[in-house]
Amino acid sequence: MGLWLALYFPRLALESSLINATTTEPGLLLSPGNREVLQCNDAALSCGIQPAMTINTAYCLVPGVATAVYDPVQEKQALSQLALLSYRLSAHISVCHPDTLLLEVGSMLDLFGGLDTYRQQVVGLLNQTGYTYQLSTGHTPQTAQVLARSSHPVLSTDYRIHQRALLSLNIDQIGFSDKQAKRLQSMGLRRFSDLTALPKDALGYRFGAEFLQHWQAFEAVIQLGEPFLIPARFQQRLEFQSEVIYAKGLIFPLKRIMQTLEHYLHLRQLGAEHLVLVLGHRKGPDTRLVIRAVQGAWHAKEWLELIAIRLDRLVLRAPVLSCRMTVMQFQQQHRVLTDLLGGQLERFDGSQLLSLLVSRLGHQRVNMPTASADPRPEKSGQLVSALSPTSLDAEVVVRPHPVLLNIKGKRVVASSYAILCGPERIGAGWWDLDWKRFDYYGALSQGGVCHWLERHLDGVWWQRGLYG
C-alpha cells in the first residue's frame, strides 16, 4: 500500500499577500468587496478578530490592522512556488487548489532513510518559506488531505493509525459539501465511523455518484488535483498592498522570489543569463530593468547582490504598486570543481566580478580586451562590450607577441640589440586598403630587457613592444 503526505497551508492567501507584515502585527485578508474577513493571523485572533467578521467590527477592535484583499492569482502563484520548492522531495506532486499539496512519499522513504528523516527535510524546507502549514500522511491521497485539514493530523506509515484517525473525525471534517454534511447530520450521523456502519449502495442511491466516489477515495488511490510539472519559463508577480516609495524597499519582497528562482534553476540544472524586472506604477508607463549576469548565475545571493546594486542607484519616478520578474535566457550551469575527497575547490569567479561591474556602471561602460584574427599588431587586439558574444566566446589567438605594445613606435638602431629570434614577416591589410609588410624580431637590449623590433622595407628599425 502506498503512502502520501499532504501539505496544508491554511493562511496561504493571507501570508502570500502581506509579505512585508510581521508575525506580531495583526493582519487580515478581506473579501474582494472589502466587507468580510476571510482569514486572519494569530495576532489578529488574540485581539478578538474572527473570520466572517465584518471589516467595520474588525476596525473597531484593532484600528491599525494590516489588510489585504483576496487575490486568487497571487494565491495560485504562491502554491506553485511551494510545489516547486517541494519537487526535490518527491517526483510526484499534485496541486490541490487553493491551499494543499499532495506528495507521493512511499517510494522516497528508502532514499531518505525513513519517515522521520523525510519529515525533518520537509519541515526544514517549509520553515524557510514563512508560511503556516500542517502535515499529515495517509494511505490514499484523500486520506492524507482530509487528515491534514483536521485538528488531529497523523504522521505514520501504519494504515491502521490512518483508519482510526479517519473514523474519529466529524462528518463536517471529511470533505463533503456543506449541504451533504447537513443532510448526514440530520440523519443522526455525527462521525465518520457512523457513516461507515451503513451500506454504501444505499447511501450512494440517496446522495448520488459524486458522494459515493468521494467516500471510495478513502479506500482506493484516486488522483486529486493537478499533476505539477516544472514550467519551461520562470515568471513571478508581486502585488504590494501599500505603495513602495524607495527602490531599496523592493529588496525584501524579492528575496522569496529569488529563493524560488534558485530552486527552479537547480532542478533544471540551468543558470540564468539575465532577468527583467517590470515595476508597475499607479500612473504612467512601467519601469523596466534588465539585470545581467555575465556567463550566467543561479544562486539567489548572487542575483540579489546584482539587483541591490541596480536599485541602489535607481530613483523611482513614482511609487511602485506591483513587480513582475521574468527570466529571459538560460544556459547550462558551470561544473563545480572538487578535490579527491569531494571538497569544493576555491576559485576566483571572474564572471561574478564582471557582473557586479556591469550592474554598477552599466553594460555600455564596461569593455573587455579580446584577440582578433587580424595579424597586424596594432589591430590584433580590441575592446568590445563585456556582454557581447565576441567577449564571452572569443576564439583564442596565440601569437609570440608581447602584451605591451607601443602603437606609435620608437626609432632605434639595430646594432644596439642582440637578436634572439626572427624574422617573422607579417604582410596584411589589403582588404581595408591599409596594406603593410614588416619583419619582426625578438631582441635583447644592453640593459637586459627583451624588446620586440619592427624592420621596415627601407631598412629602418622601430621598437614596437616589450616582453614581460
Task: Write the DSSP string, 48-108.
Answer: T--TT-BHHHHHHH-TT-EEEE--HHHHHHHHHHHHHHHGGG-S-EEEETTTEEEEE-TTT
Question: What is the pLDDT, as a whole number, of residue 335?
Answer: 52
Question: What is the pLDDT, as a whole number, of residue 347?
Answer: 46
Question: What is the pLDDT, as a whole number, of residue 130?
Answer: 85
Q: Where are the alpha helices (DSSP H) in 187-313?
A: 192-196, 200-207, 209-216, 251-268, 300-312
Helical (H) or strand (E) element with 115: helix 115-127
pLDDT block averages, 10 residues each, the chain of length 468: 91 85 80 86 89 89 86 91 90 92 93 92 90 94 94 91 91 85 85 84 80 84 90 86 86 87 86 88 89 79 86 88 84 58 52 66 68 70 64 54 75 87 80 78 86 87 82
Rounded CA-CA distance 122/136 in Å is 12
Question: What is the pLDDT, as a whole number, of residue 359?
Answer: 65
Rounded CA-CA distance 375/328 in Å is 38
Rounded CA-CA distance 415/242 in Å is 80
Question: What is the pLDDT, as a whole number, of residue 270?
Answer: 85
Question: What is the pLDDT, as a whole number, of residue 203?
Answer: 79
Question: What is the pLDDT, as a whole number, of residue 407?
Answer: 72
Question: What is the pLDDT, as a whole number, of residue 99?
Answer: 93
Rounded CA-CA distance 188/183 in Å is 9
Rounded CA-CA distance 97/283 in Å is 33
Residue with grid cell 440517496, as numbered in its chain:
206
Question: What is the pLDDT, as a whole number, of residue 389?
Answer: 56
Question: What is the pLDDT, as a whole number, of residue 222?
Answer: 87
